[in-house]
Amino acid sequence: SSRCVACKVHMPVYNSAKSATFKMGHAAPETHQFVGGHVLAKHGYESVRLGGSSSPFASENVDFWEILETDVDIWRTGQADFSAIVGLSRASHVPAWQGGPLVPALLERLHVQSFAICLEPGPANPGWLTFNPAVVDLGPGTFRSLSLISANHWAIPLSDVRLGGERFCTRKCVAIIDSGTSALAVPLWAYARMKAVISKIHSDCDDLKALPSLDLQLGDQTFSLPPSAYTVQLLDSAADAGSPRPRICFPAFMQLNISTTMGDLWLLGMPFLRHFYTIFDRAAHKIHVAEQGAGCMPARLNTSSEAAGGFFVPHKSFGNSTTTASAKPTLVDMTAARLPTWAT
C-alpha cells in the first residue's frame, strides 16, 4: 500500500486515506511469511471489485490485509508486476486473523463458483484468469474431470508418474495443482531419480525433441507434459535494448520435502497450467482439465485416436493444439521462483 515506504512498484498502489469505503480492523499488525520474504500487514475491511466498473464480482466489507512493511526483494527493487496477492481458496471460509473467527473466503463473497486458469506457453506470453467460465461442454470429448480429496486444497490422488522409463509414486502420492508455484515441485527422492533425464537438457534447448514426456496419472486419468513444458529459458541479468534475453535452458523442477497423510506431495505449478486449460470447480468439488489450444482455449479431444496417443482438432470456439505441440520453453527469471506460503 502507499504506507509501505520500502515498496517500489511501478503501478498504482492502494491508499486507504483516499477510500470512502475503508474500515479499520481490530487486530494488531501481523507478519505474513512468503518464500521470498515477509510482509507486515494491518487487517481492515474494504469494498472489493474484480474487473471493471461493470463487473458483477463485487462485495462490501471484505477482510483484507494492507501491507505496511516488507523485505520481499521484487517489491523492494521495483521488479514486481503486481501490487497485491489474492488467494483463490478451495475452502469457503478462512481465518480472518490469528485466533479470530472464520470468515467467508473472497471467492465465496464474490459468488465465484468456478474459475479457469490458462497460461500461454512460450517466451513471455500472457496468462488468463476467468471467473465462472461459460464452458458449455465438460464432457469427455474436451475435458477430463478429477475429484478432489481435500477440503482445503486443490488436491488429487497421484497414482503414477513416469519419466524416461522410470516409475515414481509406487508408494502413495498426492498432487496439488497450484498457480502459486512457479515450477514443478517434486519430493527429494523423486528429484534425485529424475536427474538422469533432466540433466540431459542442453543449454541451447536443441535436444528437447529427444527427451521423454512427463506422464502424470491423476486419479484414473493420464496427462502428459512434453519436454517444452517442463523446461524453461532463464533470463540473463543483462538486457538488449531494455528487453531481457534468453540465457540457458533449465529444467523447471523444484525440490520439496512434504509428506502428508494422503502421501508424498507433488505441486503441479505454472508448467502444468501453461500446457493445459484448467477449471477449478468449487461447486462440484472437481478440477476439469483440457488440452490447451490456440488462444488459450480448450482443445477438443479426438477420442477415436486416444488409444494411439490422441490428437486435437478445431471445433467451433475451441482452439487447436498445434501451438502447444510446437511451443518453445517459457522465458523466466528463476530468482523470482516461489512456492506457496504453506509449503515453506
DSSP string, 26-94: SSPPEEEEETTEEEEEEEEEEEEE-SSTT-S-EEEEEEEEEEEEE--HHHHTT--S-S------SSSEE
- Quickly count helices (H) and strands (E) in the chain: 5, 25
What type of residue sits at position 293? G
Instruction: Report yes or no: 123 and 233 within 8 Å, Cβ to Cβ.
Output: yes
Q: What is the pLDDT of residue 117?
A: 96
So what's the pLDDT on residue 239?
A: 43
What pLDDT score does 138 carry? 72
Determine which helix (DSSP H) or strand (DSSP E) holds 273, and give its type and residue range.
helix 270-275
Distance from C-alpha of 291 to C-alpha of 275, rounded to nearest angstrom:
7
Of the candidates 264, 258, 231, which has an alpha carbon nearest to the alpha carbon of residue 160? 264
> What percentage of the chain exceeds 90 in pLDDT?
45
Grid cell, residue 184, equals 514443478
Ranges of the chain whose pLDDT falls below 70: 35, 96-98, 122-124, 135-137, 235-247, 301-327, 332-344
- The whole-number pLDDT of residue 114 equals 95
Degrees to nearest 5, angle at CA 180 with 5 and 269: 150
What is the C-alpha to C-alpha distance for residues 54 and 242, in angstroms, rounded to an integer? 36
Give φ, ψ of 271 to 5 degrees: -55, -40
Amino acid at 24: M
Cβ(306)–Cβ(132) under 8 Å? no
